[in-house]
Amino acid sequence: MTPALTWNTTRFALDLQRPQVMGIVNLTPDSFSDGGRRAEPNAALHHCEQLLREGAHILDLGAESTRPGATPLSARDELERLLPVLREALKLGVAISIDTYKAEVMQAALDLGADIVNDIWALRQPGAQQVVLRHGACGVCLMHMHREPQSMQLEPMAGDAVAQVGRFLQARAQALELAGVQRARLALDPGIGFGKTVAHNLQLLARQRELLKLGYPLLLGWSRKSTLGALTGLDVEQRIGPSVAAALLAVQRGASIVRVHDVQATVAALKILEALDAAATIEGEGIHS
C-alpha cells in the first residue's frame, strides 16, 4: 500500500510529495545533544524562529529528555517548560509538534492548538490514546521503542529489527484506526537508537523500504545519534555531516519527514537531491521521447 501524500494535522494538511524537515527544539536541560542551551523560553523561541528561517516545515517541541538513562519528568514540570514556548510558537504559521508521551501534556498542548503529537511510546501510556481520540484532528507520530528510556540500551532488542519494528508499528497503527483515528493523521517512526544496536539501526536504514509497505508515511530521526558517533568517531556536536548524510539516505529510501537539529544543512542537501531527481526525470523523458 502506498503511503498517503498528505499528513493531516490540527491546522495543516502537510504536503508529503516533498520531504518535510522537522526542526528539533529541545526545552530540556539534559538533552544528549544540546541540553540547557535553549531551555529558557525566549532563547527557545528565538531558536524556533531561526529554524524557520533555515527552512524547517515543522517544529518539534520537547520538554523532557528521552535519551538513554534519562530521569523521568513530572507532567507539571514538563508543562512549565513547554507551555510558555508553545503559546508563542503557535503564532509562527507552521505545524507545531509536541514530543511527549503523557496524556496530561498532550491534552494541554492540543487545547492550545498544537498540530501533532509525537510519542515515543506510540500512545501506550495511560490516557494518551483517549486524548488523541477526543481531539479528533491532530496528527500523530507513533514510534517504536524497545523497553523504556531508563533501560533500553542496557538490554537492546535482539533479532531482525525490521521485522519486529514493522509488526509493532503495524499493530499500533491498526489499533488506532480501529478506534477511529483516520489513516491520514498517522505517521510511523522506526525509533533509531531507542533500544537498538548499531547493527539494528543500519538494518533499519538499509531495509527501510520494507516499512513503506505498511502504507503510512515514515518519519526518521537520525540526527546526531550515537550510531553515527560509533561509525565515525565524532562527538555529538561534530556529527552534522553524518546526520545530513543519514537524512538524505532516509529520504532516498522513502522517508517523508526527517527530524533534525541541523535544519539549514539538511534543507540545502535536500535541494541537491531534488535537483538531481529532476535532472534524472528530464533525462529519462528525453531517452523515451
Count helices and strands in the chain by DSSP H and E runs: 10, 10
The SS3 call for residue 208 is: coil
Give the DSSP H/E element, type plus range, for residue 117: strand 116-119
CB burial of 80-100 (b: ≥16 within 10 Å; e: otherwise) equals ebbbbbbeebbeeebbbbbbb
In this structure, which amino acid lies at residue 48?
C
| Rg of the chain over all Cα atoms, to the nearest angstrom | 18
Q: What grid cell was written down for 288?
A: 523515451
Give me the catalytic one of 224, 225, 239, 253: 225
Q: Is 207 a catalytic residue?
A: no
DSSP bridge partners of 20: 257
Q: Is 225 a catalytic residue?
A: yes
In this structure, which amino acid lies at residue 69?
G
Q: What grid cell was written down for 158?
A: 535482539
What's the burial of 52, exposed, middle or buried (CB within 10 Å: 0-12/13-18/19+)?
middle
262-to-52, 190, 238 alpha-carbon distances in Å: 12, 20, 11
Instruction: Say how many Å lie between the first and final Cα of the chain, rounded.
Output: 30
Cβ–Cβ < 8 Å for 218, 251: no
Q: What grid cell was written down for 123?
A: 500512545
Give me the catalytic one of 38, 102, 239, 259: 259
Catalytically active residues are 225, 259
